[in-house]
Chain A
Amino acid sequence: DAKTTQPNSMESNEEEPVHLPCNHSTISGTDYIHWYRQLPSQGPEYVIHGLTSNVNNRMASLAIAEDRKSSTLILHRATLRDAAVYYCILRGGGSNYKLTFGKGTLLTVNP
Chain B
Amino acid sequence: GAGVSQSPRYKVAKRGQDVALRCDPISGHVSLFWYQQALGQGPEFLTYFQNEAQLDKSGLPSDRFFAERPEGSVSTLKIQRTQQEDSAVYLCASSLGRGLTDTQYFGPGTRLTVL
* A and B physically associate: no
Interface residues of B (CB under 8 A from A): none
